Structure 1
Amino acid sequence: MNQGQPLTLKLDNVQLSQVQLEQYRRDGHLVVPQVLLPTEVIAARPALMATANREREKLSNYERSVGASGSQFIYDLREIDPVVWQFIASPRLAQVAAELLETDRIRILHYNCFFKPAGGRGTAWHQDYLYIPLEAEKLITAWVPLVNLTAEMGLLTLASGSHRCKTADLATANQYSQGDLEQMLSEQGLQLTTVGNLAVGDVSFHSSLTLHGAPPNRSHQMRAVVAVSYYADEARIQDPEDYQLNSPGTLQSIAYRQHFLREYFPHLKPGDLAHTSDHPIVYQRMN
């Protein structure tokens, strides 16, 4: 792995309030202002943009329009630009993720560059846990903008509280119209929440169980976002087929989870701790 050392910032630790922690537990997502210094985001942006532009060439036209691939991994932690590694391994990002997961040690799982071009398509509603064979409640993603984001750019939209509703209806939400989805969620006591304008340095965190998607990018600017996923050090491998889901996408999700297990944890089996050198600890609470 070509990673170098995690970035050490000359800043105090991020202090999350009890209100913020309770909001994450209630909603399954939280925006934390200025987790990162804008200057460090701007400094890392050229390397991240170069990586994203190179890897996006591997995608189909449709995938480039959405800004993501639903069938392949294109960002590899094992061969990574040192500047990109230092950015995604930021101890401040990892510390917030650990606090929200209520764990003492946290590992990095993977990262993606979700670059939705001007005029790009919407992102389908989904829950991350459907594609990842790890304990769902021990997974979290940081959604990190590389540019200032405004409403018309296709911002992350989440179903608040859906992390408590692990149901087939939510897993297959993309089959519903926006109006039907809003009504369905309302009947379950949930509501759709858009992250709102995000400045460089702000970060949105969400649980792997939280239903989310994004509308089209109706602006004239690329929506440049890096998503970094983490898991608690105590998380264990799950059987790719061992979850309750009765939907048209079940077989596709199982196949993706099996692929994920082969690619990321090839020597581990269900029940094992997800400990590998390819997914190092990036934050440990100091007592």
Structure 2
Amino acid sequence: MEATLDKETLLNEIDTYYTVSPEAIAFYRQNGYVKLKHVLSPEVLAYYGDIITDLVIRLNTLIKPMEERTTYERAFLQIMNLWREDARAKEFVFSKRLAKIAADLMGVEGVRLYHDQALYKEPSGGITPWHADQFYWPLASPNTVTVWIPLQDTPMEMGPLAFAEGSQHVEIGRDLEISDDSEKILADTLQNQNFTVHDTPFELGEVSYHAGWTFHRAGPNVSDRPRKVMTMIYMDKDQIVMQPRNKYQVADHATWLSSVPIGSKPQDELNPILFSY
């Protein structure tokens, strides 16, 4: 679908600030996530969605049949750092509108990009097991947040993101990688500890923000359309890189943080500041 607005209008929208209500900020800090409606227009999502989809198709290397994939591979096609592949994708990833929301929710002076990633759950794609993202990140502070941007309306049959409310406050399951085990162990633990799970559709233009230690999952995509989602991971601009605690953090330190010295801030080249007061 062609964007009906001119490019200048689209660029203006993604860099125009969105006011987050005090209620939304309080909800995020208590529950570890928030869903916000009407953050992006259908025109912006159509224009940048087409660009992101083309990049996913071009850069995807996971081509084996669904039945031969692991649980993780069945969950989604995952393409990262699109901003370094395409100047138009960079416009979207560097959106000041989206970055300022992240800073306001966390209550920090500014945010850097950790990395972006497109997450495309194909028709017949399986569940995304329960997990917390920050298990993978060698970052000292919990001031991290991911914006999850569906590029289409996302009814329940497409597997929208679900959140365990308040789970960022508890030290459970923080040593679990995303897997069949994490799905079962965390589902049981969250149920036993009476966590409320918020699992609802996303309207077009609605996005969610979730903290790095908030447990989340997604159901399978039983529709006949791909569930197309773009995400950006933000961190406090004054985030400190810590000693990696597992093999995934070792890899992330090299890949997304240029192996900067432990105890230092990320560098501007690979982890630019996207918004600052």
**TM value normalised by structure 2:** 0.86
TM-fit CA distance, 1:135? 2.6
TM-fit CA distance, 1:58? 4.2
* CA shift digits 1:96-152 (9 cap, x unpaired): 111111111111111111111111111121111110111341110000011111011
> Within the alignment, does 1:24 sit opposite 2:28 as a pair?
yes
Taking the aligned partners of 1:137 and 1:44, their CA distance within structure 2 comes to: 30
Instruction: Name the SS for the 2:268 alignment partner.
Output: coil
> Within the alignment, does 1:127 sit opposite 2:127 as a pair?
no
TM-fit CA distance, 1:17? 1.5
Q: Is the 8 A contact 1:141 1:208 kept in 2?
A: yes
Taking the aligned partners of 2:183 and 2:74, their CA distance within structure 1 comes to: 20
CA 78–153 in structure 1, closer or farther in 2 if over 3 Å, else same: closer
| From 127, 134, 143, the counterpart of 1:138 | 143
Instruction: Name the SS for the 1:134 alignment partner.
Output: coil
Q: Quote the RMSD (CA, aligned, Å).
A: 2.4
TM-fit CA distance, 1:68? 4.0
Q: Is the 8 A contact 2:32 2:165 kept in 1?
A: yes
* CA shift digits 1:169-224 (9 cap, x unpaired): 7847852776x755532443422111x22122211110010011111111111100
Letter in 1 for 2:94: A
Letter in 2 for 1:199: E
Unmatched 5+ residue regions in structure 2? 1-9
Matches within 5 A, 1:7-86: 7-9=11-13, 13-58=17-62, 60-61=64-65, 62=69, 65-68=74-77, 74-76=79-81, 79-86=84-91
Taking the aligned partners of 1:127 and 1:89, their CA distance within structure 2 comes to: 24
Taking the aligned partners of 1:184 and 1:41, their CA distance within structure 2 comes to: 37
Taking the aligned partners of 1:170 and 1:271, their CA distance within structure 2 comes to: 22
Taking the aligned partners of 2:215 and 2:33, their CA distance within structure 1 comes to: 10
TM-fit CA distance, 1:56? 2.2
Matches within 5 A, 1:1-287: 7-9=11-13, 13-58=17-62, 60-61=64-65, 62=69, 65-68=74-77, 74-76=79-81, 79-168=84-173, 171=176, 174-175=180-181, 181-182=186-187, 184-194=189-199, 196-241=200-245, 254-285=246-277
Instruction: Name the SS for the 1:9 alignment partner.
Output: helix
TM-fit CA distance, 1:156? 0.7
Q: Is the 8 A contact 1:156 1:214 kept in 2?
A: yes
Taking the aligned partners of 1:223 and 1:25, their CA distance within structure 2 comes to: 28
Flag as ranges the 4+ runs of structure 1 deviating above 4 A. 58-61, 180-183
Taking the aligned partners of 1:59 and 1:237, their CA distance within structure 2 comes to: 34
Total equivalences in the alignment: 262
Give % identity.
Answer: 24
TM-fit CA distance, 1:87? 1.0
Taking the aligned partners of 2:52 and 2:46, their CA distance within structure 1 comes to: 10
Taking the aligned partners of 1:128 and 1:169, their CA distance within structure 2 comes to: 9
